């Protein structure tokens, strides 16, 4: 296993053309090991994941933690994109909570940059400022609103974790080339440096990114939106540090009145993103001399910096018409692609995996029917569509094409300088936040679908923990959080439900002093009770992905059982 990532001293970039530069980071290279199938051993696997990017590695680690062995195929042998800079930089609270459960949060937090303040400028006027920590939808979690970290570090930590878990069979330089659906499984064709082989699996999660081969193999219709907007990344290390805040300019005088992003990542590297004119030549725009000129205009003539990486990019919007074809699930960029505004791409892929894995694990355990898996498409395709809608609106604001869009944008910018009401329309990216599955077929009551924050609690063993710890404590079962009294008779009924269904019940109470014969979780400030919407005696069912399935007022055991059966797609 490689050591902790080390960054080479940034070499001055001499050759800049498209995405062919880079090399300022030393990334690990994982060995190709000839798989058992090449030695004639055929087995049937429970799950194969194609693609060891953010989505695939999250799914693999999560499956392993649920006790499901998994094979991961990746055509490459490293993390990140070879020769290019980091793509993603911002990881949102919901993803950080998932990473805590997967055991990589501490590494991410200690290398990354935690931030919550964002400023939006037009010229030299600051027209909008926020501090995410003060917002109720970010403030209750044990994880910060955002951490910035180069994407390859996150992938690297997940690879380390996958090796550590021991049941993830990571197969580097294994390229998926074919997939045939069988009656109760799939036969995959894989190319390796040592030849081709076939592998049989019950389920497949396609996390192979925006060029997924499975989309065409399985003929999945894709809705695509092409965009003309183009940007240039300049990753830079400064001798004097700007503040660790997210700054965005809608109109930056130092970029000919076009948009600019400024964000700190790990290792003191700043991500500066410059919007280009539509007729700009991307290669010319990315020349070190031109970059240097822009940096001098932005930071002053004596700016002292090292260029870590520079290169142009463009984006598009894409969404598959279904995220499930028989035994194949699409997740991450394989399922949906969106503009980077608001950091929704990678974060939503991580959340796709989080949504799918607990369901798949229950199906493989025989605790829920295959029908439960249909909710993955219902919930995550709706999330993707919402994310694409939101990011497309930002793109229209930042790069207005239609005269009406331009008029609107210019009016907002000019009004926002003076009037607070107009600041709500300033849109340089609505930051990634979890999707609430309001229309989900698995919802069973009040508040159904709401994503819960990782709130601090005292666990039944008296240890300080949080909601993520409670999910682990409960063995990834559904949580039944009871605020109504649990007498001996009711406790026996709950025990019976635990025997029949994958659920663990806990009495939720605010006061440490109150003793209860039943397993107790202390919610000292009643923050969790507030999130669950409990304003009286109730039972809340919480899914292992920390979405509330619903809160039932003063429900008896038969009502709770009915709700559980709906949540597990048993009815």
Closest CA to 219 of 316, 114, 330, 300: 330
Residue among 70 and 73 whose Cβ is closer to ligand FAD: 73
- Give the integer Cα–Cα distance in Å for 359 and 478: 11
| Residue carrying the six token digits 């700190």 | 264
Indicate the residue among 71 and 416 with the shorter CB distance to ligand FAD.
71
Give the H/E segment covering residue 473.
helix 467-473
Residues from 127 through 146 that contact ligand FAD (CB under 6 A): none
Residue 55 is a binding residue for ligand FAD (CB under 6 A): yes
CA nearest to 274, candidates 228, 313, 317: 313
Among the listed ranges 26-34, 45-53, 499-507, 558-566, the one in contact with ligand FAD (CB under 6 A) is 45-53
CB 496 to ligand FAD: min, Å: 42
| Element containing residue 237 per DSSP (H, E) | strand 222-238
Q: How far is the CB of 91 from ligand FAD (least distance, A)?
A: 7
- Mark 56-75 with x for binding to ligand FAD (rule: CB under 6 A) and - for no binding: x----------------xxx
Considering only residues 389 to 448 of the shown chain, the ones binding ligand FAD according to CB under 6 A are: none
**Residue among 149, 205, 308, 343 that touches ligand FAD (CB under 6 A):** 343
Taking the complex as a whole, the smallest distance from the CB of residue 98 to ligand FAD amounts, in Å, to 12
Which CB atom, from 54 or from 368, has the smaller least distance to ligand FAD? 54
The least CB distance from residue 49 to ligand FAD, in Å, is: 9
Q: Does 151 bind ligand FAD (CB under 6 A)?
A: yes
Question: Where in 199-258 is the site for ligand FAD (CB under 6 A)?
Answer: 207-209, 213
The nearer residue to ligand FAD, 333 or 466, going by C-beta atoms, is: 333
Say if strands 195-206 and 44-50 run parallel, antiparallel, or are unpaired: parallel
* Core vs surface per residue 66-86: b (16+ CB within 10 A) or e: bebebbbbbbbbbbbbeebbb
Residues 322-341 that bind ligand FAD (CB under 6 A): 332-334, 340
Residue 35 lies near ligand FAD (rule: CB under 6 A)? no
Least Å distance, CB 127 to ligand FAD, is: 23
Q: Which stretch binds ligand FAD (CB under 6 A): 106-114, 192-200, 344-352, 462-470?
A: 344-352
Nearer to ligand FAD by Cβ, of 30 and 358: the residue is: 30
Instruction: Name which of 389, 326, 324, 394 is nearest 352 in CA terms.
Output: 324
356 binds ligand FAD (CB under 6 A): no
For ligand FAD, give the closer residue by CB, 123 or 282: 282
Q: Which residues contact 51 (CB under 8 A, 6 or more apart)?
A: 72, 73, 74, 206, 207, 208, 209, 332, 334
Q: Are 10 and 308 in contact (CB under 8 A)?
A: yes
Question: Binding of ligand FAD at residue 175 (CB under 6 A)?
Answer: yes
Give the binding range for ligand FAD (CB under 6 A) out of 24-32, 48-56, 384-392, 514-522.
Answer: 48-56
Q: How many helices (H) and strands (E) does the chain have?
A: 16, 26
Among 22, 53, 144, 429, binds ligand FAD (CB under 6 A): 53
Helices of type H across 119-229:
136-139, 151-165, 213-217
Residues forming beta bridges with residue 113, ordered by sequence position: 148
Given 5, 35, 112, 345, the residue binding ligand FAD (CB under 6 A): 345
| Residues in binding contact with ligand FAD, number by CB under 6 A | 32
Minimum Å gap between C-beta 459 and ligand FAD is 31
Q: Which residue has the tokens 């949906």?
A: 336
Buried residues in 490-518 as b, exposed as e (16+ CB within 10 A): bbebbeebeeebbbbbbbbbeeeeeeeeb
In terms of CB distance, is 35 or 349 closer to ligand FAD?
349
**Using the rule CB under 6 A, which residue among 63, 90, 384, 459 binds ligand FAD?**
90
Q: How far is the CB of 126 from ligand FAD (least distance, A)?
A: 23
Least distance in angstroms from the C-beta of 175 to ligand FAD? 4
Q: What are the C-alpha distances in Å from 191 to residues 28, 176, 196?
A: 22, 6, 4
Task: Look at residues 36, 149, 37 and name the one whose alpha carbon lies nearest to residue 95.
Answer: 149
Q: Residue 313, interface with ligand FAD (CB under 6 A)?
A: yes
N-terminal to C-terminal alpha carbon distance within the chain: 46
Q: How far is the CB of 54 from ligand FAD (least distance, A)?
A: 4
189 is a site residue for ligand FAD (CB under 6 A): no
The answer for 80, left when phi > 0, alpha when psi is -120 to 50, beta otherwise, is: left
Whichever of 77 and 410 has its CB closer to ligand FAD, that residue is: 77
Closest separation in Å from C-beta 151 to ligand FAD = 6
Buried b (16+ CB within 10 A) or exposed e, 111-132: bbbbbbbbbbbbeeeebbebeb
R_g (Cα) of the chain, nearest Å = 25
Nearest distance from residue 24's CB to ligand FAD, in Å? 16
CB of 321 closer than 8 Å to CB of 223: yes
Chain residues binding ligand FAD by CB under 6 A are 50-56, 73-76, 87-90, 151, 175-176, 207-209, 213, 313, 332-334, 340, 343, 345-347, 349
């Amino acid at each position: 296993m490689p050591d902790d990532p080390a960054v080479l001293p940034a070499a001055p970039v001499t050759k800049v053309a498209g995405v062919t530069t880079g090399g300022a980071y030393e990334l690990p290279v994982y060995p190709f090991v000839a798989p058992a199938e090449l030695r004639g051993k055929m087995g049937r696997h429970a799950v194969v994941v194609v693609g060891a990017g953010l989505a695939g590695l999250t799914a693999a680690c999560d499956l392993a933690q649920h006790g499901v062995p998994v094979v991961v195929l990746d055509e490459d042998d490293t993390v990140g994109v070879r020769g290019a800079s980091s793509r993603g930089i911002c990881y949102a609270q919901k993803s950080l909570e998932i990473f805590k459960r997967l055991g990589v949060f501490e590494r991410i937090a200690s290398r990354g940059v935690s931030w919550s303040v964002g400023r939006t400028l037009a010229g030299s006027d600051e027209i909008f400022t926020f501090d995410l920590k003060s917002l109720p939808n970010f403030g209750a979690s044990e994880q910060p609103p955002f951490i910035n970290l180069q994407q390859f570090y996150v992938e690297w930590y997940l690879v380390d974790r996958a090796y550590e878990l021991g049941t993830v069979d990571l197969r580097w330089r294994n390229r998926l080339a074919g997939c045939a659906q069988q009656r109760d499984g799939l036969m995959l064709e894989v190319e390796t440096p040592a030849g081709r082989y076939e592998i049989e699996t019950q389920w497949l999660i396609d996390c192979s990114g925006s060029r997924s081969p499975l989309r065409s193999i399985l003929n999945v219709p894709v809705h695509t939106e092409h965009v003309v907007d183009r940007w240039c990344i300049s990753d830079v290390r400064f001798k004097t540090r700007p503040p660790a805040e997210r700054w965005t300019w809608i109109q930056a005088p130092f970029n000919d009145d076009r948009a600019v992003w400024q964000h700190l990542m790990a290792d003191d590297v700043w991500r500066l993103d410059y919007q280009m004119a539509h007729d700009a030549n991307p290669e010319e725009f990315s020349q070190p001399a031109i970059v240097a000129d822009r940096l001098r205009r932005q930071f002053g003539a004596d700016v002292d910096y090292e260029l870590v990486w520079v290169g142009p990019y463009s984006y598009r919007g894409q969404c598959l018409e279904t995220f499930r074809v028989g035994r194949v699930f699409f997740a991450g960029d394989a399922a949906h692609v969106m503009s980077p505004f608001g950091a929704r791409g990678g974060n939503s892929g991580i959340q796709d995996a989080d949504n799918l894995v607990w369901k798949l694990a229950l199906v493989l355990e025989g605790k829920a029917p295959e029908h439960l898996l249909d909710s993955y498409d219902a919930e995550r395709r709706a999330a993707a569509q919402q994310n694409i809608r939101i990011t497309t609106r930002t793109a229209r604001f930042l790069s207005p094409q239609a005269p009406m869009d331009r008029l609107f944008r210019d009016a907002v910018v000019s009004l926002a300088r003076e009037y607070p009401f107009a600041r709500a329309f300033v849109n340089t990216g609505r930051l990634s936040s979890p999707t609430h599955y309001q229309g989900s077929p698995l919802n069973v009551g009040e508040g159904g679908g709401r994503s819960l924050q990782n709130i601090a609690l005292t666990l039944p063993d008296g240890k300080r923990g949080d909601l993520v710890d409670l999910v682990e404590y409960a063995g990834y079962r559904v949580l039944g959080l009871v605020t109504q009294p649990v007498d001996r008779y009711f406790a026996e009924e709950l025990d019976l439900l635990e025997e029949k269904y994958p659920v663990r019940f806990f009495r939720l109470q605010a006061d440490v002093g109150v003793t209860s014969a039943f397993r107790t979780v202390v919610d000292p400030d009643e923050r969790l009770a507030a999130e669950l919407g409990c304003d009286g005696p109730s039972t809340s069912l919480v899914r292992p992905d920390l979405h509330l399935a619903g809160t039932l007022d003063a429900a008896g055991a038969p009502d709770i059982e009915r709700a559980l059966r709906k949540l597990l797609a048993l009815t």
